Chains A and B, each alone.
Chain A
Amino acid sequence: MNTVKAVFRNPPLLTLILVILVWIVASLTLRGFGAYGHLRYLLELSAVIGIAAAGQTLVILMGGIDLSVGAVITVTAILLPLISPDSDPSGLAGIVLTLGIASGIGLLNGVGAAYLKVPPIIMTLAMATFLQGMLVIIAGGSAVSVTNASVVWLGQARPFGVPAGVLLWLFVSIAMLVIIHRMPAGARFLALGANPLAARLSGISVRRDTLFLFTLSGFFAGLAGILILGMNRQGYVGIGDPYLLTSIAAVVLGGTSILGGRGTYAGTIPGAILLVTTTALITVVNASPGWRSIMFGSLILALLLISGREARR
């Protein structure tokens, strides 16, 4: 009885158990769902959401929200093929440049939030609007194909039978967990989210940490953009749009409080897998787009009732 209670008090574990249950039931009832190739494909799709949600987790932990994640993903996916120099056959220079730009966009968000005191939701919303305008100038509405060797490798290669994207996600996850739970910076972020005034009075440089968090969020969104570009082989306007809401949903499904100060990336990982699995199951049902959308929304709501509830007053 006590173990059951403990599970319900531990949202990351609860989400993980939900994922395992759904996978077992679906594998037993649906032909082909449990095949290794299919499960690996689901993990590959989860990696994009999981990496985009890494930055989102950090920003939500400090009590903000990043609405520019989708726009940054689109920007990197379109910009990378354009700015990769031909003189560099490895393609790494293009990746570094693009990640620099993505981090720069995040830094600008941070400047708005920390120095101009614009609420993060507004700052990132305005940034998304701004980027949307810039994209039309840059890309002119047409799709761009990627030839960058490193990006293609990231999207297609399978060292030791594991997709490179999943390995990248594993690396990001370990880094995130170390930052949040094993480094002083993580403790500062949580303190900022729990009580900004108390955090400031105890000597935390709120401005520096806010800048750092938003820069990281931009960086991770850029990383997700590069990964999806490699998997898709093409970048186009709107490619990142689905990842804005799913990144927020993954964080909240993982038990992180949308109000900040409480949560962990350990929950976001199964949260991302759960979202992708839900979408896959709905595709299997073969319903019309309308019904699919209704099922997806209802399932998220039901999952939230289990794992995402705020504390009672």
Chain B
Amino acid sequence: MNATTVPANLYAAVQKRRNRGLAGLYLVVAAFLVVYAVLFPGLLSVGGFSKFTQNWFPLALVTMAQALMMLNGGISLAIGPLVSLGAVIAAVTMGGTLGALGGLLAVSATGLFIGAVTGGIVAYLRLPAIIVTLAGSFIITGVALILLPRPGGYVPEWFSDLLAGHTPVAFGLLVLLLIGWKLYLATPLGVGIYAAGNNPVGAFRSGVPVERVKVFAFALSGLLAMLAGLFVAAQTGSGDPVIGTPFTLNSIAGAVLGGVAFLGGKGTMRGVICGSLLLSVMINVMFFLGFPPVAQYVAQGLIIVGAVAIPQLTSQWRTRP
């Protein structure tokens, strides 16, 4: 490679390399979307599009939250409980004096706080993230159960209509989030995620504040998961202390489908968004084809394994002499 041309082409080269493994994913997602649009032409209307993106939105948020943890070389088993807690806090606070804005602030602050504390424990006390979030999931579930022992609470109707009504507000928020992610990646703490996840020792020696990068990424991850809970509360109009349970496994599945590596430092947010979209469309398509819920579980298991195994096998086959 010619040294003088590197700065100009480096960005393009890096992007090309990062997209390489994702081409198959884009194709599969596109194919599923076409099938879905054929089965359910209403998708192409504003109302249908809004409803579809609203079903997808919380899954996209938790998958991004999980991806942030996995880019750091960890994995979170507390995503589901965080979603539940977000829904519970929203439903409990929004009836108070500060209303919807107060609820939004309370949910955001709690999410950032829990994430930062988890990140602090992982980064400074050097416990593995999977174990800390495992213990954390019990604590978070407990807090949610104390705040709201049974489903209930209140979310203002106008707030539900704004987020989960007949307008594609959720999709707009997702686009804003992706722009926010790009901006975050331009900061030292953002770009450090990849360095610290891929090679913590090397990153540390090159001056990346590895611990602070972790704490920030965990805090953002907590924020995203809790906001997903807020959105779920807006969708259902109330809070439920166990509503988030399925999100833990789905967030891992989405992130892995999106090509995030387990050992950290590899993966892109666009892949993650596509992964969560694939999972969401898959569930919808199977529902419309009249699959019983049982077959959905089975198919989901098979597709997840296939999505991970096929790229692995083809790359192996390609490199074989």
Residues of A at under 8 Å CB distance from B? 65, 112, 116-119, 121-123, 125-130, 132-134, 136-137, 245, 248-249, 252, 258-259, 288-298, 300-301, 304-305, 308-313
Contacts and interface: CB of A to CB of B under 8 A. Distances in A.
Given A125-B252, A308-B131, A116 B137 contact: no
Interface of B: 75, 77, 121, 125-128, 130-132, 134-146, 149, 200-201, 204, 249, 252-253, 256, 262, 293-298, 300-302, 304-305, 308-309, 312-313, 316
29 contacts: A116-B305, A116-B312, A117-B309, A118-B308, A118-B309, A122-B304, A123-B305, A126-B305, A129-B301, A136-B294, A245-B77, A248-B130, A249-B131, A249-B135, A252-B128, A288-B149, A289-B149, A290-B144, A290-B145, A290-B146, A290-B149, A292-B142, A293-B138, A294-B146, A297-B139, A301-B121, A304-B131, A305-B127, A310-B128
A122 B138 contact: no
B139 A133 contact: no
B291 to A, nearest CB: 10
A132 B301 CA distance: 10
Given A112-B309, A117-B312, A308-B127, A293 B142 contact: yes
B145 A133 contact: no
Given A301-B135, A310-B126, A313-B201, A290 B142 contact: yes
B312 A118 contact: yes
B316 A117 contact: yes
B280 to A, nearest CB: 16
A294 B145 CA distance: 10
Given A117-B316, A258-B131, A298 B139 contact: yes
Nearest to B131: A252
Nearest to A134: B298
A65 B262 CA distance: 12
Nearest to A138: B294
Given A117-B316, A292-B142, A304 B75 contact: no
A57 to B, nearest CB: 15
Contacts of B308: 116, 118-119, 122
B312 A297 contact: no
A245 B125 CA distance: 22
Nearest to A65: B130
